[in-house]
Structure 1
């Protein structure tokens, strides 16, 4: 019988069960398929309450977004300023300025919260 996930142990067991179910060729609307769907909902609910998701640092957020959009690093030159400045940002030798953060947020739709996070140079 399925029940709410309340502990880390129950969470781990649910993840293991989902992994096993996903290895099978489940038929839509079968009892095992329903079990997988319910477990997924229970896991998601537990994670929302108990598993904090850390934002990526700004450089990783930029690289990830470029990859998502299929863009090369050179696409940042028109947003950040110059080739050397872009290189400094991506190599963590320079921090993002407020104007860069605004431009990256506006033009690449990167969440501002990811761009303003502190990171080491």
Structure 2
């Protein structure tokens, strides 16, 4: 079987690739087989196109903390206990203060949140 794959340059190409890969969702092909190779190539092309055309920005650390706290039934008091300061916890959650390396380390140790999610991802202008 010839591998009928083409670059994804347009939205129409993207739609075509999504339709092509969709058939593999119910029964994923065997890795290393011709169909498995086709699946891998399509997935790689789709991922590259979507990364370029539909980028997802990393969340701000305060949003990461609020999400984690919400998912785990924690409140500002719990964050204050980790940071050692209720006013500081309030400033962090409101986005008025960045986390210091000491705070990031304390949160990672207490709650297991990866440090890279707690570092601000601002782009220099």
Query: Deviation digits for residues 11-55 of structure 1, max 9, x if unmatched?
Result: 122123223212114223222211110101111221232222223
- Partners in 1 of 2:12 and 2:70 — Cα distance? 36
Aligned counterpart, 1:19: 22
Note the residue ranges of structure 2 that are not aligned, 5 or more in a row: 109-114
With structure 2 as the length reference, what TM-score do the two structures score?
0.61
Aligned counterpart, 1:31: 34
Q: Does structure 1 conserve the Cα–Cα contact (< 8 Å) formed by 2:24 and 2:39?
A: yes
2-11 vs 71-80, greater mean Cα deviation: 71-80
- Partners in 1 of 2:103 and 2:69 — Cα distance? 11
With structure 1 as the length reference, what TM-score do the two structures score?
0.63
Alignment of 1:113 onto 2:120:
yes
Aligned counterpart, 2:97: 97
Describe the shift of the 1:40–1:66 C-alpha distance in structure 2 as closer, same or farther (beyond 3 A).
Answer: farther
Q: Compare the two structures and name the one with the higher helix fraction.
A: 1
RMSD: 3.4
Query: Deviation digits for residues 44-101 of structure 1, max 9, x if unmatched?
Result: 2212322222232443222445689x7945652222622x7646865xxx33413xx1
Describe the shift of the 1:87–1:5 C-alpha distance in structure 2 as closer, same or farther (beyond 3 A).
Answer: same
